[in-house]
Structure 1
């Protein structure tokens, strides 16, 4: 993680470096506050977050030759192990883009993008890039990390619920072929993403579903007893009344997943991303612990559990190492 005195933000026009700013350069520029709601693609929101920083339009005006370059898109590149990046149209960057270094009056933490990150209040938060080091101006769009690897929507407008790209949705023919497989090694090697597949009432031939990318899939009423989902990505999965007794969820991404009424006796959850995951609906939470379908599961080191879900699981005695 670069310290402010060593950090620079570079600006590239196609293959040419056209400018750069140090932390000190940016700190000397006129600053503004922007109060906005944060909407995570997994379903949670944070109201009235207050950021401080500089409009991207202010930075862009300081760059030579940009207005006559014919560019239409802007790519944002992070200094991260996974080489995160994302992109927007130039018009969105000029209208709604910010470069910020403070939130709620305090410097950004390393976890949240220190020293600088972008901010797009009108988009899901995956379009706001942490740890930014480069801004590139392009004539053709280039899909970002989450768009390439996860199938997230290129626009990400919350009011339209643009979470996943419909073009990436798995067809019914592909889904039927997938359901019949007994070996998923090719899917693991290629990191193929299955999106919005109908896996209702599915009973996999193999119990080894580890490492698969199954996003926004419907597993309702599926027989998934003793299935190993370790290292899989099951973002937005629906497991309503699925039989998951004895299943393993080690290092599984379960953000936004719904386990309402799922049978989880003997299921083991460990080191999971659980932002906006749901195990119960408050209006239906009337069962005793003895007859609860979640009794008997264990969950250790959860990440991002909502407070009401954490309290519910705590009441069942299934949370470990909190």
Structure 2
């Protein structure tokens, strides 16, 4: 559905945005070709190893294969981060550490919020439908936060992160600066940027997500990040990242020895995402400081999100069943 929005956009410089494949081309791409564009990850091998140890060493009666019993999934966060928000302070910090960055445009907080809410309106039904195909109920915070204690937990919980993820978030000024830059969540959500960094594989994040999942009384938590990039009159889709975390389906047991490793209370069930290079244009705006949107076109975005979510949900079954 095509939508036109008017709102404030702030920017300080420019970068080069090269038109790539359109959203329509991605939606209509043959399955095998599209799947090659999607980066996926999961903990299926790890879960199988834990389950085998549990059967052999503790005589635990676990199904083989052990497919996680996921019936209720809560959407933890649906948020955007504008790739072009790197500022001079962050640029100096990144370059000092041997990286490279540029002083670039960024969407204002209101700009990011308006675009994200448009994406979310297009996506919610597609997300629900993908999970419903496997008889999994997908819930929004309004649906799974059923008492004041859970609401407080959702609002206040701090996800533990590793030094590597901390460096990534700090370089982009994500940490404790949501109000200053266009890293914003859709209405009704809060931002959880750590959940999708490094493909959702940070061990400390995984542990925290398992704890949070149990506190919020769902089987798994879904995090969706839409990354945008701005260049002159164009706003582009920079990346889609979707991560599904849960507690470890294999319970810990004192008789189980894990060799050089240790028991992990949580797992990254599935991850699906794509980095779109320099961005896929989907919006135009007036070219000036404090500019306004001329047009935001999210035609077919629901079908694009559906392709990613269908892959993620399908993998949730086939990866753990050993069918690949």
State if a TM-score over 0.5 links the two structures: no
Greater RCO between the two (CA within 8 Å, min separation 6)? 2
Larger Rg: 1
Question: What TM-score, normalized to structure 2?
Answer: 0.22
The structure that is helix-richer by fraction is 2
